[in-house]
Structure 1
Amino acid sequence: MNNGSSRTITGEKTGLRQGTATRRAGKVTAAKIMVAAKEVLEQEDVSRFTMRNVAERADISLANVQYYYKTRGDLIEALFVELEKIYQQAYDDHLRTVGTSPTERFKAVLNFNFNEITSSKTRRFFVQLWAVIGSLDDFSGAKFGQLYAIDIAQLSFHISALVPDESQEEVTRRATLLAAVIEGLMIVGGEQDMNSPWTRSLLKSAEALAFRIALGDQALFSEV
């Protein structure tokens, strides 16, 4: 993986029908559909996230969308893969600006995530995506787990660099807890000005907590 930033977790499952989007024109069309799907969730009401409205935004026919993605569930599966690619590239770009120290890189990963969760565009997208996911899997949590496996894998990679002798099971546990902290801040924090003293103080405390989680500070986990 470029710049040692992460590992891929979604594998080959893309939501695309087998045999589709293998030629250049097909790949271009599939990419247009992904852009349109993401824009609907970012810019419109969640009720607008339908195959027909995605087709309209992509300026292609509904039949063409359904050729590549037969159901809304297939479209969401493909969107998961697209999100992984987007965030992988964003991580890589961000980490090119920092040194090679695991501590420095972990701090950069935290700063990247904190910038994301204070963005109104990001928050709107994920809140609406959650609603769509919930309706698709009957609120069982299966697709939520699939979505957040992306985040957990990213965080696990950098936690492993901080504590190379720790077991993968323990690293994943810490990454899962940290992912929950980050997502929780996005939910309860609301729209925030990154430059306000209150927000800076909140995120500084979150950074300290993140390091304690990553390093396995036993004070956090001791039984009461």
Structure 2
Amino acid sequence: MTSNGQQTTTGASAATVRRASRLKGRAREAEIIAAVRDLLAGGRYDQFTLRNVAARVGIRISHLQYYFATKGDLIRGLLASVAADYSAQTAQVLAQVPDTPTARFMSWIDFLLQDCWDPRTRHFFIQLWGLVESEDAYTGQLLQQFYATDISEILQLLRDLSPHLDARLLGQRAAIIAGLIEGMMLMVGSEPDDADTRKGLLAETRKQIFRIATEA
């Protein structure tokens, strides 16, 4: 009985240690990704090196490479993290609005448009595009995979809003809307810092997005 009891205790202790190790590992991965996001939000993508990221986290490069062996692995981890964050934000936004197709669709569009005007968001994504394209040998495949999540979320809302559109049109319009929103990041920086101008541009943009979403 004692032997079996000791084995059970030892097994439970080992499981606890493994669980703690996994949690610590996930926390370290999140810390590394956060450092990368901070670097891109405030700097340039050509500053993205394993050495610079390790220095920001305060660890050795070899330690960083335990979690992300290559620069490409770290970029893919970053993309997965950003996509997951926006998916979580989708759920948060939709949970706070009336459960109608129009309210749900336009609430998410409004969130994305407002997000375009955040200076750090804008700078982050412009740097991210350059970083991903340079890693991807300018094939565009990584960015297409990344934005597939964004397009899919818009598509789900669009299906409920415009059931009269067939699958082909729904897919095309979801992609157009996603592209329009991302493109706004390049436009807003050239606009004067004027509240009325911004308000008017936002209103016209959301009006045109709704037209694209619902037009037969």
TM-score greater than 0.5 by the shorter chain? yes
Report deviation, 1:165: 5.0
For residues 68-217 of structure 1, the aligned pairs below 5 Å read 68-164=67-163, 166-190=165-189, 196-215=195-214, 217=215
Report deviation, 1:52: 1.0
Structure 1 residues 121 and 193, CA gap change in structure 2 (3 angstroms): farther
Partner-residue secondary structure (3-state), 1:180: helix
Report deviation, 1:173: 0.9
Regions of 4+ moved over 6 Å: none
For residues 39-54 of structure 1, the aligned pairs below 5 Å read 39-54=38-53
Larger radius of gyration: 2
Q: Which runs of 5+ in 2 are unaligned?
A: 1-19
CA distance in 2, matches of 1:108, 1:43: 28
Instruction: Name the aligned partner's letter for residue 189 of structure 2.
Output: G
CA distance in 1, matches of 2:72, 2:137: 12
Structure 1 residues 115 and 192, CA gap change in structure 2 (3 angstroms): farther
Length, aligned pairs only: 197
CA distance in 2, matches of 1:115, 1:192: 14
CA distance in 2, matches of 1:178, 1:41: 25
For residues 25-40 of structure 1, the aligned pairs below 5 Å read 25-40=24-39
CA distance in 1, matches of 2:58, 2:106: 41
CA contact (8 A) 1:159 1:214 kept: yes
Partner-residue secondary structure (3-state), 1:23: helix
- What is the CA RMSD across the aligned residues, in angstroms? 2.0
Measured against aligned partners, the alpha-carbon deviations of 1:17-64 in whole angstroms (never above 9, x if no partner) come to xxxx97111111111111111111112222211111111111222111
CA distance in 1, matches of 2:104, 2:26: 34
CA contact (8 A) 2:158 2:213 kept: yes
Match of 1:3 in 2: none
Match of 2:4 in 1: none
CA contact (8 A) 2:32 2:57 kept: yes
CA distance in 2, matches of 1:118, 1:154: 21
TM-score after normalising by structure 2: 0.85
CA contact (8 A) 1:194 1:200 kept: no
Tell me which moved more, 185-194 or 81-90.
185-194
Structure 1 residues 22 and 44, CA gap change in structure 2 (3 angstroms): same
Report deviation, 1:144: 1.5
Higher relative contact order (CA 8 A, sep 6+): 1
CA contact (8 A) 2:45 2:127 kept: yes
